[in-house]
Structure 1
Amino acid sequence: MPRTREEARFRHPRHERRGEARLPGVAATLIAIALYLFLPQRLLIAPRYVLPALEGVLLIPLVAINPRRLTRQTRAFRVLSLTLVAVIAASNLLALGTLIHDLVSAGVKDGRELLVASLQIWLTNVIVFGLAYWELDRGGPVSRTQAPREELPLADFRFSQDENDDAVQEISDGSSKTSDWVPTLMDYLYVSVTNSTAFSPTDTMPLSSRAKFLMSVESVAALLTSLLVIARAVSILR
């Protein structure tokens, strides 16, 4: 274990500039696409394979640019990555809106299908907002590992590691200031999970207006899914 903060910084130089691994982001995106693909047809805004095919087309060049680690970033890369997240988010929110509309106006009778669909939408919501936070915070995953801290855009989120440098050594050695720690996709997915279950921030605080807006949209969508859709589905099953 490093004995001083200077030694900790030397030992952990921002992931050794290797960049964040590409696989977790691809896996999360493919899971979100698959969850949408298996929704009931009446919740889809287009033929079943149209949006998943579009999302796959957007994903392919992103993987080609950074096949193993996220170290290269261009304007086209940023536009493609943000567009992909926006398409997944919009299609999932529209599916949620259709599901709520059907519940209110059409009197859906198949409670089991409704329950499964609501869980698919909730899980996709967690994944896509986690991806959105990951893509936006501090300029995105490439900037967070490849750019010096003084050149990073303002942070959208404040993690506990960002303020732990004055704690006991075994905690402070892993802080942002001491070890040059930066959040990865798993950290943003955790933020998304806690926001979708607690309907509010927990240990990670939104700082920017866009982060607060996104977390508000996610919380409301999760609240509607949990209280209205799932409760209605369970009542139909009884």
Structure 2
Amino acid sequence: MTGSDNQGSDALSSNDPTDDDQVPAWARRTTGESRWLATGAVVGIIAFQFLLPNQFTPHPAWLIPALGVVLMVILWIGNPIRIDREESWLRRCSLALTVLLAFAMSWSVYHLVLGLIDGTVSDNARGLLSSGVEVWLTNVLVFALGYWELDRGGPAARAHGRKPFPDFLFVQMQNPDLADPEWEPSFVDYLYLSFTNATAFSPTDVMPMSRWAKLAMMAQSGISLITVSLVIARAVNVLK
């Protein structure tokens, strides 16, 4: 092989699209995401369970928070700093925590709406609005946690680049030339997705790609719309 052939071969190798330098961080193996922000969301959801009136929380009132703390501690022990360890038992614990918090949120929404419809909710406008805000924020945090936990198999699977096809298409994925090559979705991105979906009642700049993602966003928008409309209507009626 001649020298020019060697140079041509080197040029082709350097332009190989499979080279890590050419592949964005979200599509290849990375060091894994920190657990701090997701843990903060879990703590926030548990705190809202304590702040809500007893009629909006499952009984006994300590059960959901206690189970949540136990699962959170287990996950911290299994993946203390960065979420990059793929173990089936860790995955089950993480999904169990998400389901547990989603159940608590669903319970709160159901009993808040039921109380608004049958008139058993207090006529205290301040208390009603406070409970409504807490339920709405719980909705945002729970769905953010769910999107983060399920997109492309979860944070550990994303760290290993297991699934090439995203469940949520972020702007940085659509415009790689305008994004940092080291960008990859973190909990903040899923929190933004959840917040905008709960306020706009529809996708904004993050598009759901898989069917489960579309159904989840539809469910969140419906819950948010019902909660906001009923709480505001009742509060206005109380305030005259």
**TM-score, structure 1 as length reference:** 0.86
**Misfit runs of 4+, over 2 Å:** 6-18
Corresponding residue for residue 28 of structure 1: 41
Corresponding residue for residue 118 of structure 1: 132
State which structure, 1 or 2, has the greater radius of gyration over its C-alpha atoms. 2
Q: Which residue, 58, 61, 70 being the options, matches 2:83?
A: 70
After TM superposition, the structure 1 = structure 2 runs for residues 80-99 of structure 1, keeping only pairs within 5 Å, are 80-99=93-112
After TM superposition, the structure 1 = structure 2 runs for residues 33-182 of structure 1, keeping only pairs within 5 Å, are 33-108=46-121, 109-147=123-161, 151-152=162-163, 154-165=165-176, 167=177, 171=178, 173-174=179-180, 179=181, 181-182=183-184
- The answer (yes or no) to whether the contact 1:200–1:219 under 8 Å persists in 2 is yes
The percentage of aligned residue pairs carrying the same residue is 39
Residue segments in structure 2 that go unaligned for 5+ positions in a row: 1-14
- The answer (yes or no) to whether the contact 1:9–1:180 under 8 Å persists in 2 is no
- The answer (yes or no) to whether the contact 1:39–1:120 under 8 Å persists in 2 is yes
- The answer (yes or no) to whether the contact 1:33–1:55 under 8 Å persists in 2 is yes
> How many residues are paired up?
222
Residue segments in structure 1 that go unaligned for 5+ positions in a row: none
**TM-score, structure 2 as length reference:** 0.85
- The answer (yes or no) to whether the contact 1:115–1:234 under 8 Å persists in 2 is no
Q: Which one-letter code corresponds to 2:160 in the other structure?
A: Q
RMSD: 2.3
Between the aligned partners of 1:81 and 1:156, the Cα distance in structure 2 is 19
